[in-house]
Amino acid sequence: MKLQNKVALVTGSSQGIGRGIAVRLAREGADLIINGRKEDEGARETLEQVRAEGRRACFIAADVGEPANCYRLIEQAVEQMGRLDILVNNAGVQKHAAFLDASEADYDQVLNVNLRGPFFLAQAFARHLRDSGRGGRIINNSSVHEELPFPNFSAYCASKGGLKMLTRNMAIELAPLGITVNNVAPGAIETPINQALMNQPEKLESLLDNIPAKRLGQPHDVAGAVAFLASDDADYVTGTTLVIDGGLLWNYSEQ
Ligand SMILES: NC(=O)c1ccc[n+]([C@@H]2O[C@H](COP(=O)([O-])OP(=O)(O)OC[C@H]3O[C@@H](n4cnc5c(N)ncnc54)[C@H](O)[C@@H]3O)[C@@H](O)[C@H]2O)c1
């Protein structure tokens, strides 16, 4: 087991990729803090799956779009588990709107959850590590859209592009503290965020045509990469993005 005696916080882990990451880190020996805006059925299911791996788990409700909640979340996590070694900034939202029509409210929500949250959670987490004299791991769940434009999702792309640069900056500033900072960038993963797409067979087919691996990714595809980045094996890896997309991002061909 790669993560024995470690404690990990995974934001937005009541479903989807976050749940997959939480369960995988537990399988590698970590104890887990599960997070979401409120303790719902999904959160309880994640807790159950983590405990079934034989690990300790607790749930802390927090809307990570608000810095005060981010500070409280880190504080409560340390209080409840005694320490914190791994932060996975996974919570994310997306809003569909043409650039010309996008509203301030949607922009704010997307940027707050996807970028402001990771910024202040990472800050509070890094301060905790600095004060404890220990290193640690920050892993951000970005997206291929940290690179790849996505029409009708400008705010989402801006948030993920920002996360990419934030990751690089934090990696440089936090390396002397023994903290590594990396992104995972999933392509199209089968989760509730893509429910609308799943319900439209034609759109799904055209997406699959663009994916060289010819399948959607699954949460466990992302979780395996996160487990690696969280482990000692990745001790010298920092400031980078690991793309997990079946070849989608760099796919180009001519007939
Ligand atoms: N599914 C994909 O194809 C895909 C691709 C690339 C990147 N991602 C990224 O992966 C991450 C997880 O996405 P997913 O596909 O599992 O989506 P999802 O909608 O299934 O899960 C998102 C999770 O974030 C939580 N969340 C949302 N707002 C929150 C807030 N303010 N505070 C706390 N928690 C909040 C939700 O409750 C949920 O548990 C996101 O950052 C997303 O941008 C997903």
* Residue 27 alpha carbon to ligand 1 centre in Å: 21
Burial 68-107 (b: 16+ CB within 10 A, else e): ebbbebbebbbeebeebbbbbbbbbbbbebeeeebeeebb
Answer whether residue 255 is part of any domain.
Answer: no
What is the whole-number distance in angstroms between the Cα of residue 135 and the centre of ligand 1?
A: 27
Q: Which pLDDT score is estimated for 1?
A: 82
Kindly report the pTM of this predicted structure.
0.98
CA neighbor of 29 nearest in space, from 242, 236, 232: 232
In a domain, 1, yes or no: no
Catalytic residue IDs = 156
Q: Does the beta carbon of 91 lie inside 6 Å of ligand 1? A: yes
Range(s) of the domain holding residue 65: 7-250
The number of folded domains in the chain is 1
Mean pLDDT of 210-226: 97
Residue 212 lies in a domain: yes
Q: How far is the CA of 133 from the centre of ligand 1 (A)?
A: 31
pLDDT digits (tens, 9 = 90+) for 55-73: 999 999 999 999 999 999 9
| Per-residue pLDDT, 153 | 98
Question: Is the CB–ligand 1 distance for residue 243 below 6 Å?
Answer: no
Whether 35 contacts 73, CB under 8 Å: yes
Domain-embedded: residue 169: yes
Ligand 1 atom closest to the Cα of residue 15 is 39
pLDDT tens digits for 116-141? 999 999 999 999 999 999 999 999 99
**pLDDT by residue (tens digit) across 181-208?**
999 999 999 999 888 888 999 999 999 9
pLDDT of amino acid 128: 97
pLDDT at 159 over 80: yes
**What's the rounded Cα separation, in Å, for the pair 181 and 244?**
17
Q: Please choose, from the candidates 110, 207, 118, the residue with its C-alpha nearest in 3D space to the C-alpha of residue 154.
A: 110
Q: Token pair of 207, please? A: 């997406």
Q: Is the CB of 141 under 6 A from ligand 1?
A: yes
pLDDT digit string, tens, across residues 23-59: 999 999 999 999 999 999 999 999 999 999 999 999 9
Question: For ligand 1, is residue 37 a contact (CB within 6 Å)?
Answer: yes
What is the pLDDT, as a whole number, of residue 25? 98
Instruction: Identify whether 2 is part of a domain.
Output: no
* C-beta atoms surrounding 214 within 10 Å: 10
CATH number at residue 233: 3.40.50.720
> Ligand 1: which of 41, 191, 198, 242 to mutate, most ligand atoms within 8 Å of CB?
191
State in Å: Cα 176 to ligand 1 middle.
Answer: 31
Average the pLDDT over 3-29 and give the result. Answer: 98
Kindly give the distance from the C-alpha atom of residue 160 to the centroid of ligand 1, in angstroms, as a whole number: 12
> Cβ(16) to ligand 1 under 6 A?
yes
With the most atoms of ligand 1 within 8 angstroms of its CB, the residue from 17, 90, 215 to mutate is 17
